[in-house]
Chains A and B, each alone.
Chain A
Amino acid sequence: MTRIVAALILAGCTGGGGDTAEERDYGRTQTTDLGSWTVTIAPDPDPVPPVDLFALDVTIPGAEGLFVDVDADMPSHNHGMNTEPVVTEVGGGAFRVDGMQFHMTGDWRVTVAIDDGNTYERAFLWIDCCEPIQ
């Protein structure tokens, strides 16, 4: 089920800025595509370690109890992550995402999907990954 949702949230999306690094917004806070939510992400650890697993703390004020899913892909490479992250609601609009992994260097697009029962919205946040693999 999670993968189906993940496929949906990544399928055909073009959000989060342009096709080149110069056009992309790397800000850690973005508004969803329909404007209802403000999403802030914080990798743990930060900066993201290349290839290793990391977590993502996601804050969405007002999203308590709502369906939230998170995935990431590299649009320029036409692939997603090799992992299936798990989202856990922490409370107060905060969510912990375990099992993230960026296995290549380059621009990754994190997609945060929020479904409040009426609308399904997505926020796109770019992360320039990473320091070279050690």
Chain B
Amino acid sequence: MGCGSSGFSEEQLDILAAMTPVPAVPADSTNAVADDPNAAVLGRKLFFSTALSGDGQFSCASCHDPAQDFTDGLQLSEAAGQTGRHAPTVINAAYSRWQFWDGRCDSQWCQALGPIESPVEMAGTRLGVARAVYTDATLRAEYEALFGALTDFTDSRFPERARPAEDPTDPDALAWAQLSAADQADVNGVFANVGKAIAAYERLLVTGEGPLDAYIQGLLAEDESYRDALSPEAELGLELFVGKGLCHFCHSGPMLSNGEFHNVALGPRDWLPEGDNGRFDGIRAVRETPFNALGAFSDDTEGEAAQRLTFLALNIDAEGQFKTPGLRRVANTAPYMHGGHLDDLASVVEFYNLQEEEPEFGHLDETLAPLELSEEEAAALVVFMEEALDAELVDPSVATAP
């Protein structure tokens, strides 16, 4: 049932109205320097610094390359080794309640710490990070202005590398165990602060409004020129997005994501490791990490993020679930899905149109069923995502190395 001349029902108009305008970045009360410009300046340097990695070769930008919309364009990321997942973009990650494909972090500062110590990503250690900040005069001065004086991490009681690890025989774990509890806490605090500074920078990597916003805002204002914002094919794509395609069930709100987790029944691929249980393992991990909203390094253990973690359930529905990605600028971040399963947006639409795969874990989200889109309709959805969801960064000048 259409409404007026637009062809959208009242319910669809409500769904569209919730997609725009793009709101301010949500506050992160767990990070006291989240919106401190000086923290963002430091965080930008850290984001692009290879000194945080184990061998000085890799930085956050190695897999989150500004030239590729803060992704790497690969199915699986490659740095010190090969990861088991596709690198999502950092752009608009500040709008997400949960970080990583499995939500194993509940803040951007927690997320920023994971790849630094991952043996297949930056292969660094938290003590190595503390030493790198201490020994770089610029980083040290900016850090101390924000967080206070640093310990001399070049003191002889500190090895060059140390971090906790699941394997107690890991040399870095053995070195970590040799540190006093006070030194471990000190290093952890510096590591958390480094994450908070990186997060402050990443919060600047957000998009403004684009053709979708112009179209919807004009439509709602009954401005007859609203149709100029989209081509007829993209307009058909939007109608399908909130209609026959049912995309809005999960891709809703200003980021076109509900920020939650779903099992869309992606089957195995020969380049993917077996046994990726997604959100089920992510829930356990976010509960356990000392860098979560309830932990000793959180600046607000009673706020919204802490409440979400307090009530977070671990149940079998989470098996095989992965986070619904936001879709603004989605045309720039191929390949798609958590394992780079699909090469392009046409393949994504075909996947949802056919729904022929069986999930490795868990059960398919029951909202999904074959869409029975025609070739023309499938093509229109792709045009919609390419054209309507394009948007410039609010401040493009920050999307480069300092």
Collect the chain B residues with CB atoms within 8 Å of residue A131's CB: 14, 18
A132, CB-defined interface residue at 8 Å: yes
Closest chain B CB from A72 CB (angstroms):
11
Q: A104 touching B249 by the CB < 8 A rule?
A: yes
Collect the chain B residues with CB atoms within 8 Å of residue A132's CB: 14-15, 17-18, 252-253
Collect the chain A residues with CB atoms within 8 Å of residue B314's CB: 3
Q: Of A3, A77, A99, A104, which is within 8 A of B311 by CB?
A: A99
Known A53-B308, A77-B367, A98-B311; judge A82-B252 contact (CB<8 A).
no
- The segment out of B106-114, B256-264, B336-344, B385-393 that lies at the interface is B256-264
B209, CB-defined interface residue at 8 Å: no
Question: CB within 8 Å of B: which of A56-105?
Answer: 76-86, 98-99, 101, 103-105
A51, CB-defined interface residue at 8 Å: yes
Collect the chain B residues with CB atoms within 8 Å of residue A81's CB: 313
CA–CA, A104 and B260, complex, Å: 9
Q: B366 touching A76 by the CB < 8 A rule?
A: yes
Which chain B residue has the least Cβ–Cβ distance from A51? B258
CA–CA, A99 and B314, complex, Å: 14
* Interface residue range, chain B: 20 to 34
Q: A133 touching B252 by the CB < 8 A rule?
A: yes
Q: B18 touching A77 by the CB < 8 A rule?
A: no
Collect the chain B residues with CB atoms within 8 Å of residue A79's CB: 317, 365-366
Collect the chain A residues with CB atoms within 8 Å of residue B317's CB: 79-80, 82
Q: Of B261, B304, B310, B363, which is within 8 A of A99 by CB?
A: B310
Known A51-B258, A76-B366, A104-B258; judge A83-B313 contact (CB<8 A).
yes
Collect the chain B residues with CB atoms within 8 Å of residue A7's CB: 315
CA–CA, A104 and B14, complex, Å: 15
Collect the chain B residues with CB atoms within 8 Å of residue A53's CB: 304, 307-308, 311
Which chain B residue has the least Cβ–Cβ distance from A52? B304
Contacts from A to B (Cβ < 8 Å) = 3, 7, 50-53, 76-86, 98-99, 101, 103-106, 131-134
Contacts from B to A (Cβ < 8 Å) = 14-15, 17-18, 23, 249-250, 252-254, 258-261, 304, 307-308, 310-315, 317-318, 363, 365-367
